[in-house]
Amino acid sequence: MSKLLNWVDARFPLSEFVKQDLTGYPTPRNLSYWWNFGFLAGFVLVLQVVSGLFLAMHYKPDASLAFESIEHIMREVNYGWLIRYIHSTGASAFFAVIFIHMARTLYYGSYRAPRELMWWTGQGLLLLLMATAFFGYLLPWGQMSYWGAQVITNLFRATPFFGDEIVIWLRGGFSIGDATLTRFFVLHYFFPFLIIGLVLIHLVALHTVKSSNPSGINLAAKDNIPFHPYFTAKDLYGLGVFLIVFCFFVFFSPEFFIEADNNIPANPLKTPAHIVPEWYFLPFYAILRSIPDLLGGVVAMGLSVVIFAAMPFLDRSHIPGGARYRPVYRILFYIFVLDFAVLTYVGAVPPSGSLVVIGQVATFIYFALFALLPFISKAEEKWLCKRGLPAEVEELLKSKSSPDKFNCPL
Amino acid sequence: MNQKTMTFLLFGSFLFLTANSRASSDVSLAEVDFDHSVENIKSGAQVAMDVCRLCHEFKYIKYRNLLEIGFNKDEVDVLRGDMPLNTSILSTTKPEIASKLFGMMPPDLSLMAKARRGGARYIYTLLTSYSMDAEEHVDNKLFPGIKMPDPFAYAIRTDDVRQKELDQRIENVSVFLQWTSDPKAKERRRTGYYVIAYLIVLTFLFYLLKRKVWRTLK
């Protein structure tokens, strides 16, 4: 065995890789359970790829067969119901995990130098995930699949000059049809390859800059511990908890994430009374609807998703550390989470009088938080310097071996 | 307020708002405590075959599936006539005639319970919402203007005994339709108990492992 390993090692840095990047990978000892979600995202990705592969063996991307093939999977294929419910619940789990992963990054300031590339590749992954989910949602060919795709592709009508042409080009016809279904299936199968590629880049970047930690300040080398066995054990425990929640939905409430209307076959002649996207698109959908003008709404919605990428520029404070040591930033974070929840709610219900206004206010707050951050973060920096940094931060910074340096006033 | 409470409250409110937005709007449905026993499913199937099949199809249920809910071979043979065992249960009225009669095709019923919010409760409420107004005009309170004629003549029920009997039959049909929409539900839940129990034990072991490993850390 060791002979074989030596043979491989002489040709490929296997042992070195395992030691440096898996078992011995230096990890801050103070990571909280919020740091489990990166691993969980990777796990859900694998789960989706594997369950998706098995679904694709039985699914028929043909407008006249798609809906029935899903019922075939649910009723005739051995454990087809399990595979399909894992996949449909997995999509929601993926977004839940990613949203928490992003919230953690925002809270602890993990997007700040030197982790900007992690944040930006993460932003790219969010976009790819959204696209993949959107393509996938058409495949069951139910009413909500059909009309959701109709509404979203229709947004491209807002493109100046070529609006109509682009919509037809995307759909492969004047409306959603067989051509659209086939291409969405192909893209839904293809995009995960891009996701896997970008995840690898995300991980290479991670192993260059290393994990951030709850203090938001890079720790001295002595405060890092090897990934194995400490974080393998911790990740396994987190995975167990995750799986309990996940399996609860898969086995006991699998239709919770499926709109009832999607159990009606797509009917181009009958618009559902109330078209709603999947829950993970609701906040952005609410922003789209809050702006009366189509082009404006589309731009605002797009911006609301990609604006996260600007965080490293918008946050101008030089004080190391995450929200734990930044009281003002912390309040902004909490307002943001609450605002996101309100937008989710507004996106889910039919627009009516006061809710329209609430949606508009929430949209305004959403962007205002980002727009004001440069000024607020600068003011917070001044204020904290005057008041004196928290003792814990001072101590972490003073410890000679911390790579972070900061002196007040600048 | 400490941070843990804060996080808890925020994510809690997030879940509450999301869940609420999905659960709304089936408040008007009847509260029924359905008995999903195989006997009820079977009697519901009998009613469905006698009444609903006149107009509706059960596309995703095959005659042989009836064997899973307590029908025996002979009973199924009576129902299927000369149709093969492995065919979907179609309406006894030809589609062309049905669509001429109602101006539309009566929808497939086998997925109906999943295709309406409230599932069996929706179907029960729908069928018990027929009533007659002063001009002896029958309509449905849940679905005004519905093109389906009152299948049980519920609107002209005469006395309490009759009403009780009808309610029971409607309940059974609803339970049957719940089953046709999700025939694997029982198997799924049974598997689920084992899976969750297993995961709880496994997670507890992982927790002990984690504690043990981390204790070695100074």
Rounded (5°) CA angle B47-B52-B55: 155
Mean pLDDT of A253-277: 94
Give me the residue spans of the domains in chain A: 35-141+177-269, 276-404
- Is A87 designated active site? no
Note whether residue B90 is domain-resident: yes
pLDDT of residue A392: 81
Residue B76 and residue B162 share a domain: yes
Residues in chain A with CB shorter than 8 Å from the CB of B217 are 29, 225, 230
Instruction: Spot the catalytic one: A60, A87, A101, A234.
Output: A234
- State the complex-level ipTM: 0.90
Residues B181, B48: contact at Cβ < 8 Å? no
Residue B137: count of CB within 10 angstroms of its CB: 9
Residue B197 and residue B105 share a domain: no
The number of distinct structural domains making up chain B is 2
Task: Please give the residue range of the domain that contains residue B205.
Answer: 186-212
pLDDT of residue A410: 57
DSSP reduced 3-state for B138: strand
Nearest alpha-carbon partner for A308 in A145, A103, A171: A103
Residue A260: count of CB within 10 angstroms of its CB: 20
Residue B144 and residue B53 share a domain: yes
DSSP reduced 3-state for B61: strand
- Is A278 designated active site? yes
Residue B97 and residue B84 share a domain: yes
Residues in chain A with CB shorter than 8 Å from the CB of B3 are 324
How far is Cα A97 from Cα A42, in angstroms, rounded to an integer?
A: 10
More confident residue, B54 or B5: B54
Note whether residue B104 is domain-resident: yes
Residue B112 and residue B151 share a domain: yes
Instruction: Note whether B196 contacts A: Cβ–Cβ < 8 A.
Output: yes
CB contact (8 A) between residue B17 and residue A248: no
Lowest-confidence region among A194-198, A362-366, B21-25, B111-115? B21-25
Residue B192 and residue B97 share a domain: no
Residues in chain A with CB shorter than 8 Å from the CB of B181 are 263
CB contact (8 A) between residue B213 and residue A260: no
What residue spans of A292-390 are helical by DSSP H?
294-306, 311-314, 327-348, 353-387
Of residues B6, B181, B189, nearest to A251 (C-beta): B189
Token output for A173:
């016809």
Rg (CA), chain A: 24
Residues A240, A57: contact at Cβ < 8 Å? no
Token output for A17:
């890789």
User: How far B104 CA lies from chain A's nearest CA (Å)?
Assistant: 13
- Is A234 designated active site? yes
Nearest alpha-carbon partner for B176 in B124, B130, B125, B126: B124
pTM of the model: 0.93
Residue B117 and residue B51 share a domain: yes
User: How far B207 CA lies from chain A's nearest CA (Å)?
Assistant: 5
CB contact (8 A) between residue B24 and residue A349: yes
Query: Superfamily for A35-141+177-269?
Result: Cytochrome Bc1 Complex; Chain C (1.20.810.10)
DSSP reduced 3-state for A61: coil
Nearest alpha-carbon partner for A307 in A287, A334, A322, A280: A287
Token output for A409:
């006033």
- Indicate the DSSP class of residue B153: -
pLDDT in tens, A309-350: 999 999 999 888 889 889 999 999 999 999 999 999 999 999
Residue B192 and residue B149 share a domain: no
pLDDT of residue A353: 84
Note whether residue B15 is domain-resident: no
Instruction: Note whether A237 contacts B: Cβ–Cβ < 8 A.
Output: yes
CATH number at residue B119: 1.10.760.10
Q: What are phi and psi of A272, to 5 degrees?
A: -65, 150
Token output for A382:
């001044």
Residue B154 and residue B64 share a domain: yes
Note whether residue B99 is domain-resident: yes
- Is A315 designated active site? no
**How much of chain A, in percent, has pLDDT values that exceed 70?**
99
Instruction: Spot the catalytic one: A165, A207, A382, A401.
Output: A207
Note whether residue B16 is domain-resident: no
CB contact (8 A) between residue A256 and residue B18: no
Residues in chain B with CB shorter than 8 Å from the CB of A23 are none
Query: Which H or E run includes A200?
Result: helix A178-209
pLDDT in tens, A382-410: 998 888 888 888 887 777 666 777 777 65
DSSP reduced 3-state for A304: helix
β-strands A26-28, A224-226 pairing: antiparallel
- Indicate the DSSP class of residue B105: P
How far is Cα B128 from Cα B142, in angstroms, rounded to an integer?
A: 9
Residue A24: count of CB within 10 angstroms of its CB: 14
